[in-house]
Amino acid sequence: MSIRVRLLALFSLVVVAGLVGFLALWLFGVPGLGIEGMFSQEIRRATTSTEVLTDKERDTYEHWLAEHRRSLRSWSQLPELSLLVQEVSRAGASQASRDRLARRLTVLRESSPGNFRRLYVVAADGKRVLSSAGNEVRNAPAEHQEAVQESLLAGMTESVRLQLDGVGAGLLAVQQIPVFDRSDQPTGAVAGVVLAELGLETQLAADAVSIARNLGSGGAVVLADAKGEVLLDSSAVASNPRNRYVASQLVAGSEASRILNTPQGEEVIATFRHLHLGATDTLSLIAIRGTDEALHAVRASFMRTGLLVLLLAILTFVLLLSATARVAQAQAQVLALNAGLEDRIRERTMELASANENLTQTLARLERTRSELVRSEKLAALGAMVAGVSHELNTPLGNSLMAASTMQDHTEVLSQALDRGIKRSELVHYTEQMQEGNAILMASLQRAAELVASFKQVAADQTSAQRRFFLLDKTVDEILLTLGPTIRKSGHRVEVDVAAGIRMDSYPGPLGQVLSNLINNSLLHAFESVAQRLVQVVCRHGMPGQVHIVVRDNGCGIPEQHLGRIFDPFFTTKLGKGGSGLGLNIVYNLVTEVLGGDIQVRSIQGEGTTFTITLPLVSPYANEAARQESY
């Protein structure tokens, strides 16, 4: 079986297993992951949403009634209104007074448009309607008589009751209009009552858009009485049997959400809330929502997911067909190539072995070349030291030779004088000449001995690289002494400023080689176009246990593109002109590996270069044996 057939069979198996697993998970899967779990979650979410809407509608109704009761109370407690009602109540009251009272009622009605069905004022006898706004009321309706008579009783300043008539469910709010004395204080008497009939349907109509958006097109909010009779229904169907059935399941005073199955075969979410409307506490608000509409989004999501999975499977199958075709083609090419693969591998192995041998030989030659250059650098340093020795010893030895020859001449003169007889004055003069020549001879020989001792110490340090205790200022002076002829010949000026008393336990030989290389590097590279040529060596205490050695020049500086490579081996800008490319590499290796320090360089073209060396006063030991030997 070819690899293409195997891949297609494997993919088909995976797709079938994935589809079966997907369907099983959705239909019979883990709770919360399968479709049943998602249905349950959506039902809970829809129930919560329905409860939030019902609570909002209840709050709206209660706030609506409280506002109208407060408005009626404030309107009826005005002393000028009380006087106007008393005036209109008298026999023969003028039409102007009646008109003023009617205008006041109109203003009150227009403050809440659409809410007042009827609004009028009744006299204190409870029979005469003094004035009305909106629908003209000439006599108090029979269905209002009981409320009016009750409100005229002492202590009954206000009453609210449910009003059912042909127009629909409403609330009847009655408010006493008291009689005031001259100080605007109620006397206890009643001037009349104001009666307002409020339509409950206005709130449902105002929230129709919000109800449809939250409950769906088939949802509704129902107002029912304590017996479960529907008083108001926000649905488009005036007499909805589903909603009447849900209202019949009302338990007086109960507030809960339930899933109900109606006789029409529909499953609905019903949320029951009790309305607190003062004396009219027999009403309940019911929000009804069908579960099919709530689950519509889940079913649509399931269908979209299924289609997406199917499309992905088809796309993957097409891609797999293309990939397997390429795999089959590649497999054929691999089989064709395998025929001569072993020969090519053998040839390549031989080529790699030859290249590796050539590389090894080249590395060996480079290492030998590097060693020879390092030895050349050391020999050059020793040659410079020998030149310094010969030059520095020339002066004291010349002085000694001159003093000795002068003393010899004076001795010959004295010897000749002894043959003819010597005077005391001549003997005294000879003695003075001998003492003076002897002093010159001793001083010159002493200077030569000191120079030989210094050169000997420097030579021993540079050739042996032994560790010892030394004073930094003395060692720097000895190192610069060996460089004196080179410095004087070049015409440069070297200034040394070393703090006294810096005592180190380190390697003076490598340190001398570092300073020699840095100074020679400045002499060779720094002053091609500089007239005032100055090299400074400054040594100071740094952090506790450290010393800073700064070598700076006022030369032409190092180009920025070269700064990162100056410590690389064999990097030089003076190839063939005296530069080997190892000087600063040797400096870096000695500072970091032998002396245990750090070296940094800063250079600005046209201003000069500064090397800053940070060394420990006690250099690290190469190994534990070296540490023990030092003790």
Positive or negative, the CA dihedral 39, 42, 48, 50 is negative
Percent of the chain with pLDDT strictly greater than 90? 11
Q: What ranges make up the beta strands (E) of 472-585?
A: 493-498, 503-506, 534-541, 546-553
The position carrying tokens 């005391």 is 424
Distances (CA, A) of 513 to 381, 459, 483: 8, 11, 11
Q: How confident is the model at residue 344 (pLDDT cuts 50, 70, 90)?
A: confident
- Whether residue 15 has pLDDT greater than 90: no
CA 167 – CA 134 distance, rounded (Å): 15
534-541/493-498 β-pairing? parallel
Q: What ranges make up the beta strands (E) of 346-390?
A: none
Per-residue pLDDT tens digits for 499-517? 999 999 998 888 988 998 8
CA 206 – CA 509 distance, rounded (Å): 102
Whether 516 and 533 have beta carbons less than 8 Å apart is answered as no
Distances (CA, A) of 175 to 151, 470, 478, 591: 7, 115, 120, 106
The 3-state secondary structure of 484-497 reads HHHHHHHCCEEEEE
The answer for residues whose C-beta is within 8 angstroms of residue 114's C-beta and 6 or more apart is 199, 202
Whether 571 and 515 have beta carbons less than 8 Å apart is answered as no
Whether 571 and 558 have beta carbons less than 8 Å apart is answered as no
Q: Please give the pLDDT value at position 217.
A: 77
The CATH code that applies to domain 465-631 is 3.30.565.10
Superfamily designation of domain 77-202: PAS domain (3.30.450.20)
CA 263 – CA 286 distance, rounded (Å): 18
CA 34 – CA 298 distance, rounded (Å): 11
Q: How confident is the model at residue 280 (pLDDT cuts 50, 70, 90)?
A: low
DSSP 8-class letter at 594: I
Edge to edge, the sheet with strand 158-165 lists: 129-134, 116-123, 186-199, 168-180, 158-165
Helix or strand or coil: residue 125? coil
Provide φ and ψ at 432, rounded to 5°. Answer: -65, -40
Q: What is the average pLDDT value for the chain, to the nearest integer?
A: 79
Per-residue pLDDT tens digits for 565-620? 888 877 777 655 555 567 788 889 889 988 999 999 999 888 889 999 999 999 98
Per-residue pLDDT tens digits for 451-502? 665 555 455 444 456 788 999 999 898 888 877 777 777 778 889 999 999 9
Q: How confident is the model at residue 30 (pLDDT cuts 50, 70, 90)?
A: very low
> What's this model's pTM, rounded to 2 decimal places?
0.44
